[in-house]
Structures are given as C-alpha cells and as structure tokens.
Copies of this chain bind each other. A is one copy, B any other.
Amino acid sequence: MSANGYNALDRLIALFSKLPGIGKKSAGRIAYYILDSNPSLAQALAKELESIHQLIRRCSICGGFTEADPCMVCTDSNRDKSVICVIENAQDLRIIEEGREFRGMYHVLGGLIAPLEGVSPANLSIDKLIKRLNGVKEIILALNPTIEGDTTALYLQKVLKEYPIEISRLASGMPVGGNIEYIDKLTLSRSFRGRVKI
C-alpha cells in the first residue's frame, strides 16, 4: 500500500494518464469523479473496455475499425467503388463519414512516412492499396497538410503514377471562418497557390 493508502486509486490514475490528452491532474480529477459517481459508471466503462478488442476488429479490405468484416462502408453497394480516399488512420474515416460529403471507398494507411520516428513506406498499408486498384478511377489523398503528410503524399504519387488513375489531394488553405490576420505564412502561401477562380 502506498504512503497515502491509495494504491488502487493510484493505479487507476496512472492508467488514465496514459490516454492521449489526459495529464496527471486530469487523470486524478477523472478518477475522483468516478469514485464520487454511482458505481454503475465504472462498471459500464469496465464492461465496454473488457470487450472492445473482441468486438471491434480491422476491416480486411480498408483497414478501418468495424464489428463485422468487411465493414459496412466496404460492403455498401450504394457507394462509388471507383474512388478510394486514402487516410492516415481509422479515426479519420469516422470524421470524414460524419461530414457526409464523400461517398466512395476508404483505405487506411496506418500512419504516415516519418523517417525520424522509424516509419518507412514498408510499415504502411501501401501494397494492399496497390492490390485494390482494379476498376479504380480516382484516388484522393486525404492526408494532413504536415511534413509527414506531404512526404507520404509525394511517395504515393510516385508509386501510383504508373497506373491510369487520377490522383488528387484535399485542398489546403484558410479554414472557413478563419482570419487572414491570424493565419500562418505557410497556410496563406498555400491559399494563394491554390486560389480558385470565381
């Protein structure tokens, strides 16, 4: 038992502070909140966490998270199979789906090329993407406008140029509602280069 007699609580706080965006102070606040709440909250959370890895797996086609394999996007006959949207991770799939703009297929890379972090093209799901190109007319690279995203987009462009497929990338520029005064130089420069005729 720890000096304060808080062993189980310390373990819970340590685990919560491993989660993204949760520091030691927030983890403490969360743990105390759970202790102060009806035990049903802790029980419900425990139950979902216990089974989450059994219930959710990766879709064998696109690599997104799903309860049934292949996932509901890959098996949806109403979606446009001639367009594949290439994304970094499964969470991006969810965010794009929530936008209800895109009605094609997805391909999750599982990361971005980052030599300093030891992520090379071989670590990404690129071979699997190549095997899906039959009948595909367009590939949209929906990668973050960061150094890693740019590097990965450039690499994919090189790999895909030998196929008769149109390759596009999400527009980069000022966010809607943004203010020129507060925008960084690089974004402003991209907004100029990517300017749209009206």
Chain A interfacial positions (CB closer than 8 Å to B): 1, 3-9, 11-12, 15-16, 18-22, 26, 28-36, 39, 41-53, 55-56, 65-68, 71-73, 89-91, 94, 97
Contacts and interface: CB of A to CB of B under 8 A. Distances in A.
B72 A5 contact: yes
A20 B29 CA distance: 7
Nearest to A47: B46
22 contacts: A1-B67, A1-B72, A4-B72, A4-B97, A5-B72, A6-B56, A8-B56, A9-B56, A9-B65, A12-B52, A15-B44, A15-B48, A19-B30, A20-B29, A21-B26, A22-B22, A32-B65, A32-B90, A35-B65, A42-B50, A46-B46, A46-B49
Residue of A5, A21, A52 with most chain B CB atoms under a 10 A cut-off: A5
A106 to B, nearest CB: 11
Contacts of A45: 15-16, 45-46, 49
